[in-house]
Amino acid sequence: MPNPLYDTLFGRHAGSTDVFLYTADGGELSYKAFLEQTAQVAHALTHLGLRAGDRVAVQIEKSPEALALCAACAQGGFVFLPLNTAYTATELQYFIENSGAALVVCDSSGKAALASVVEDTGAKLETLDGNGSGSLMTLAQGQPTEFDTVDRDGEDLAAFLYTSGTTGRSKGAMLSQNNLLSNAQTLVKQWRFTKDDVLLHALPIFHTHGLFVATNVCLAVGCSMIFLPKFDTEQVLTHLPNATSMMGVPTFYTRLLDDARFDKALASHMRLFISGSAPLLAETHIRFEDRTGHRILERYGMTETNMNTSNPYEGERRAGTVGFPLPDVELKITDPDTGEPVPQGDVGIIEVRGPNVFQGYWQMPEKTAAELREDGFFITGDLGRMDEDGYVTIVGRGKDLIISGGFNIYPKELELLLDDQPGVLESAVIGVPHADFGETPVGILVAESGQTPDVAAIMTAVQADLARFKHPRKLVVMEALPRNTMGKVQKNVLRDQFKDLFVG
**Site for ligand MCA, rule CB under 6 A:** 203-204, 207-210, 230-231, 249, 251, 276-277, 301-303, 404-407, 437, 468-469
| Residue selected from 276, 354, 438, 443 as contacting ligand AMP according to rule CB under 6 A | 276
Calculate the dihedral angle through the C-alpha atoms of 226, 230, 236, 242, rounding to the nearest 10 degrees. 0
Exposure pattern of 84-108 as b/e (b: 16+ CB <10 Å)? bbebbbebbbebbebbebbbbbbbe
Instruction: Round to whole Å and give the CA distance between 56 and 99.
Output: 9
Asked whether position 310 contacts ligand AMP by CB under 6 A, the answer is no
Nearer Cβ to ligand AMP, position 409 or 445?
Answer: 409
Draw the binding track, 205-224, toward ligand AMP (x: CB under 6 A; -: no contact). ---x----------------
Closest contact distance (angstroms) between CB of 298 and ligand AMP is: 5
Number of residues this chain uses to bind ligand AMP (CB under 6 A): 18
Nearer Cβ to ligand MCA, position 224 or 275?
Answer: 275
Nearer Cβ to ligand MCA, position 24 or 446?
Answer: 24
Nearer Cβ to ligand MCA, position 76 or 381?
Answer: 381
Query: What's the DSSP call for residue 264?
Result: T
Nearer Cβ to ligand MCA, position 468 or 488?
Answer: 468
> H helices within 103-159, ranges in order?
111-121, 135-140
Contact set for ligand AMP, span 343-372 (CB under 6 A): none
Closest contact distance (angstroms) between CB of 35 and ligand AMP is: 29
Instruction: Round to whole Å and give the CA distance between 309 and 351.
Output: 12
Instruction: Round to whole Å and give the CA distance between 226 and 212.
Output: 16
Instruction: Round to whole Å and give the CA distance between 415 and 420.
Output: 9
Which range of residues in 121-129, 283-291, 294-302, 312-320 is near ligand AMP by CB under 6 A?
294-302
Nearer Cβ to ligand MCA, position 152 or 209?
Answer: 209
Nearest 5°: CA angle at 168, between 162 and 173?
20
Contact set for ligand AMP, span 101-160 (CB under 6 A): none
Instruction: Round to whole Å and give the CA distance between 122 and 144.
Output: 28
CB 191 within 8 A of CB 387: no
CB 445 within 8 A of CB 427: yes
Instruction: Round to whole Å and give the CA distance between 459 and 469.
Output: 14
> Pick from ligand MCA, ligand AMP, none: which does 397 bind, CB < 5 to 8 A by kind?
ligand AMP
Asked whether position 424 contacts ligand AMP by CB under 6 A, the answer is no
Which chain residues interact with ligand AMP by CB under 6 A? 163, 208, 276-279, 298, 300-303, 322, 380, 382, 394, 397, 403, 408
